[in-house]
Structure 1
Amino acid sequence: MKKQNVVNLIKYHFERNENAFRNEALVVARYFDSVGDHQLTEYIMALISESNLYAPQGTDFESEFLKQVETKSLDSLNLSLEISEDVKGVINAINHNIGINKFLFEGLPGSGKTEAAKHVARLLNRTLFIVNFENLIDSKLGQTNKNITNVFREINLLQNSNKVVILFDEIDVIALDRVNSNDVREMGRVTSTILRELDRLTELNKDIVIIATTNLYSNFDKALARRFDAIINFNRYSKSDLIEVAEYYFSTFIRNFKGVIKDTRLFRKILNMADRLPYPGELKNVIKTSLAFSDSGSEYDYLKRLYNNFIGNLEQKDITQLYSDGFTVREIEKLKGESKSNVARKLVKEESHNE
């Protein structure tokens, strides 16, 4: 602990700056915890809790490990019907107040896990805090364990816990399988600490909601997975689900681009012809960049870009190939940038040549 910490405490006290005073007191508590004086650490944390200085009363609440996330103005959540029903189930379970409060969202990147967690907090009218893994993970042996203990201590001391959601986004970084990890001992200690703290959280705080997300569920520690009340699989999208999501993004984004003509029919045809479509996160980016990167002098340039992104190699496809794939003369004109008469002439010429 530095002299500046003491000066700051006195300064914030006389300024009646409770948030700054609280955060400085936490810095002092963590210092004593780092030097092994756990009894004094617990005493300081208890004083903070009892004096109600730790309550996240406003939007300026900050801590080293917990960052508040804005949820009031979120984009629409585009999930498949199956996943949407499960997310509604999560909200119902929390509202029943029977202690079902820990959820694991698993699925590939871009499948909507993080956005779903934000919407859960919004619909429950709860403050969302995300765990800052940049501060949590430490290269020093054993320090990550201490940080995990500290973050759960902060979570347990939060006031108005029935108004809070804690998000461990991409918890993979601290929760991979202990058996298959390259550093078995260190990973084992970290995972064991999380297990212990989750169990303590269940005993001490039945109101707070914990949501964790993972892209690597197959490598997830099985004992840790069992600590969650429910595991929601976000990999359940049919092609029709993804096309519906894509149409929503397309209709939303194209309004912002002047000189571009909307062709939903050809847009949908391109998506239907794709062998596979990416999940909503990537789908959103592809559609947005195809529109943004399109030539302002070409009304349908975005369709060429979409074709290349979803099907590929439009330049290598001649007109007869596109026609045999099911594209009309007018659609080929838009994709190839050639006149309708020129496209028709080439098709007639090709047919007569084949005869």
Structure 2
Amino acid sequence: MKKRDIVNLIRYHVEGNENAFREEVYGIANEFDASGDNALAEYIMALMSDTNILYTQNFNYESEFLEEVNLNSTSLYLPATISQELIGIANAINNKAEVNKFLFEGAPGTGKTEAVKQLARILDRKVYMVDFPMIIDSKLGQTQKNIISLFKEINSFSKQENVIFLFDEIDALALDRTNSHDLREMGRATSTLLKGLDNLSSRAIVIATTNLFENFDKAMSRRFDYIIHFNNYSDEDLMEVGEKLLDDILKKQKNAEKNKKLFRKIISLYGTLPYPGELKNIIKTSVIFSNIEDKYDYFRRLYLAAKGKMPTDIIELKNEGFTLREIEILTGISKSSVSRELKGD
């Protein structure tokens, strides 16, 4: 405990700043705990707990740099391969396996942030996301000070075991420090972030996401206990995700007709299948903007999204592998007429 801590305690008490006072107390307790004086740390926490101020399961944390994430938003299906890795992380956390820092990397729309939400649901935890626009400051040295304050808050709050701290798009701070195009100020901020992760309480669960893993600071990568690569989806993974998304969206459409085989053929026209986020938007807009009087219209709109044109060319559709019945659905032309045209009549 430093002289500064005593001064801060007195100042916050005199000012009536209860939140800052509590944070300072928990920071002091955490320092005692880290130095091996567990009994004193627990005694301090017990005193604060007796005030019924903080450590309750329904606690709502307020912070300048953290904001709670809504976990009740519409879900985005994830492939079984990713879901299994999330279950593995959940088991490690529940078993207190001394791993608490995880990195989810992949292109936009691969489901990284949704994976954090799904993990929180599995663990029955809240998610607090770092507000990077509040962290990054144009004033010289202020960004580093903000990062230090952020980790102080996280470590102070780490005894509350129903929280995940999300560093969404951590590349805002974690770009390669040796990159000559990177501002020297941001390089120092990255170094401060590295120190914060090094001194992170073992009780705090941190998950970071990035879209720019190839430009990621290698020293930063080594700070994480486990990395999930979200770009490694197979075509079958994405097809299965698409089918589940379609099933969910069609539940709200009374007159839409399901046809799994036709859906797969249309989606396969993309060649490189879209990631879950983009796939969801394609399916959703195709269904929403379809003619409610036409149960097959959304198939035509899915085709339009894939090919950039409506399915009107019968010969082209045949060459793409569609059956007579499927061509009938896509064009609205009867099978007999399609057959005659294909025979050249």
TM-score by length of 1: 0.80
Q: 1:159 to 1:88 in 2, by over 3 A?
A: closer
- 1:340 aligns with 335
Structure 2: distance between partners of 1:291 and 1:111 = 22
- Shift of residue 187 of structure 1? 1.9
- Shift of residue 76 of structure 1? 5.1
- Equivalent pair of 1:56/1:158 in contact (CA under 8 Å): no
1:223 aligns with 2:219: yes
Structure 2: distance between partners of 1:255 and 1:63 = 40
Structure 2: distance between partners of 1:252 and 1:164 = 29
Structure 1: distance between partners of 2:81 and 2:57 = 36
- 1:33 aligns with none
- 1:164 aligns with 163
Q: 1:54 to 1:132 in 2, by over 3 A?
A: farther
- 1:62 aligns with 62
Q: 1:295 to 1:189 in 2, by over 3 A?
A: same
SS in 1 for 2:251: helix
Q: 1:159 to 1:240 in 2, by over 3 A?
A: closer
State the AA in 1 paired with 2:324: V
Q: Which one is further off, 289-298 or 73-82?
A: 73-82
- 1:118 aligns with 117
- 2:7 aligns with none
- 1:18 aligns with none
- 1:292 aligns with 288
Alignment of 1:102-113 (within 5 A): 102-113=101-112
SS in 2 for 1:314: coil
Structure 2: distance between partners of 1:332 and 1:132 = 50
SS in 1 for 2:153: helix
5+ unaligned residues in a row in structure 2: which ranges?
1-11, 30-43
1:281 aligns with 2:277: yes
- Equivalent pair of 2:79/2:240 in contact (CA under 8 Å): no
- Equivalent pair of 2:27/2:155 in contact (CA under 8 Å): no
Structure 1: distance between partners of 2:244 and 2:26 = 52
Q: Deviations over 1:36-86 (max 9, x none)?
A: xxxxx9689659987465557536432111112243x46556333332222
State the AA in 2 paired with 1:174: L
Q: Which one is further off, 190-199 or 132-141?
A: 132-141
Structure 2: distance between partners of 1:275 and 1:113 = 23
Alignment of 1:322-341 (within 5 A): 322-341=317-336
Structure 1: distance between partners of 2:259 and 2:229 = 34
- 1:252 aligns with 248
Alignment of 1:16-31 (within 5 A): 22-23=18-19, 25=20
Kindly tell me the number of residue pairs found equivalent between the two proteins: 315
- Equivalent pair of 1:270/1:311 in contact (CA under 8 Å): no
- Equivalent pair of 1:80/1:236 in contact (CA under 8 Å): no
Q: 1:181 to 1:107 in 2, by over 3 A?
A: farther
Q: Deviations over 1:160-217 (max 9, x none)?
A: 333321110111111111122523411210101001111111xxx2111110011110
TM-score by length of 2: 0.82
Q: 1:285 to 1:22 in 2, by over 3 A?
A: farther
5+ unaligned residues in a row in structure 1: which ranges?
1-8, 14-20, 30-40
- Equivalent pair of 2:176/2:215 in contact (CA under 8 Å): yes
Structure 1: distance between partners of 2:228 and 2:258 = 36
Structure 2: distance between partners of 1:43 and 1:94 = 26
CA RMSD, Structure 1 to Structure 2 (Å): 2.8
Q: 1:292 to 1:191 in 2, by over 3 A?
A: same
Structure 1: distance between partners of 2:286 and 2:192 = 46
State the AA in 2 paired with 1:248: K
- 2:298 aligns with 302
State the AA in 2 paired with 1:109: P
Q: Deviations over 1:309-337 (max 9, x none)?
A: 2243335x511121122212221122123
Q: Deviations over 1:78-118 (max 9, x none)?
A: 33333222222211222231321101111111111111111
Q: 1:232 to 1:267 in 2, by over 3 A?
A: same
- 1:133 aligns with 132
Q: 1:123 to 1:273 in 2, by over 3 A?
A: same
